[in-house]
Amino acid sequence: MPLAALHLYADGLSAPSMLFWRYAIAILALGTAATLAGLKLSLAWRHGAWRVVLLGGTLGAGQTLCFWESIKTLETSIAVLLFYTYPAVTLAIDRLAFRQRVRPLALLCVAVILCGAALITGPGLHHGALDPRGLAWAIPAPLLYAVYLAVNTRLLRRHPALIGATGLYVGLAVTFGLMSAWLGLDVPTDAAGWALLLFVGLGPGAITTTLFTYSVPRLGASSFAILANTELVVVVSIGVLVLGEPMTAWRGIGGALIVAGVVTHAIARRPAASPQSSEARRTSLPTRAEPAS
């Protein structure tokens, strides 16, 4: 996604315009999938899905804008390293705001993962100066994302994954649509730009957010924040296998630390209570009547 974003920036798209097109394309796919699955978006709205839309348009848009603006002037590795402090922030929010007990093993896993992330992104820290504008955008991102995760964990338990994903992206699309209307909506200049937008709308967009809205309420914010760090390992693997980046010893050790932290937490964690199917059924009823039992 960062690689696609940098290409779109070079094509003349601003961050708000790129994000608006991304969410608009994803909404078409998510709305179609929800309709085919027999979910009624209007009924979900009346049963509280508007709260998901509001969350997407506020905290969701805030953390998204912070990250994608930061990589314009900040080394991507620095932005990623700062962003991946969010598991530690998530644990702190769970403990301080929601009075949840944080196990010492979870703290150890987060510390190991942060060390691994530092080793993976460390080489990029020497390639450029710390741009103050980039830092001003990057520093709030992990805090906003951690709060976003904590609220999503509770809101999304009432809705099927497709309803939750559509709601979040409607909120995001509205916010970035208003920003684009104010600043000017940029349009890709060639077919390659539209192809990139289609990719980021469907792949890192519709599919990924559906997996997010399915897994977050079942795992809980803290567990999701820890397990999702496998993303860094995937990024390194793609860089080495597809983009021809060198596989250094530090990257190998960093990846091993992240995997060790994630696997240890996954084995040791207590499963979170799964969403009640009855709640999801109340928010989005099938279009056809079911026979009475």
For 251-276, what is each residue's pLDDT tens digit?
788 888 888 988 888 888 655 444 44
**Confidence at residue 38, expressed as pLDDT on a 0 to 100 scale:** 93
Instruction: Specify the pLDDT at position 278.
Output: 46
% helix, strand, coil for the chain, step of 5: 80, 0, 20
Q: What is the pLDDT of residue 71?
A: 80
Average pLDDT along the chain: 84
SS3 annotation, 5-62: HHHHHHCCCCHHHHHHHHHHHHHHHHHHHHHHCCCCHHHHHHHHHHHHHHHHHHHHHH
Q: How confident is the model at residue 182 (pLDDT cuts 50, 70, 90)?
A: very high
For residue 178, is pLDDT > 80?
yes
Burial 250-265 (b: 16+ CB within 10 A, else e): ebeebbebbbebbebb
pLDDT score recorded for residue 293: 37
- Check pLDDT > 80 for residue 126: no
- Residue 282's pLDDT is what? 47
User: Confidence class of residue 280 from pLDDT cuts 50, 70 and 90?
Assistant: very low
Q: In 10 A of CB 174, how many CB atoms?
A: 17
Q: Using the predicted structure, report yes or no on whether residue 291 has a pLDDT greater than 80.
A: no
Q: Tell me 288's DSSP state.
A: S
For 102-106, 187-191, 199-203, 284-288, which range has the lowest pLDDT when averaged over its residues? 284-288
Calculate mean pLDDT across residues 60-70. Answer: 91
At 124 the pLDDT is 56
- Among 45-54, 143-152, 280-289, which stretch is predicted with the lowest mean pLDDT? 280-289
pTM of the entire structure? 0.80
pLDDT at 61 over 90: yes
Q: Report the percentage of the chain scoring pLDDT > 70.
A: 88
State how far the Cα of 29 lies from the Cα of 199, in Å rounded to an integer: 12
Under the banding of pLDDT at 50, 70 and 90, the label for residue 128 is low
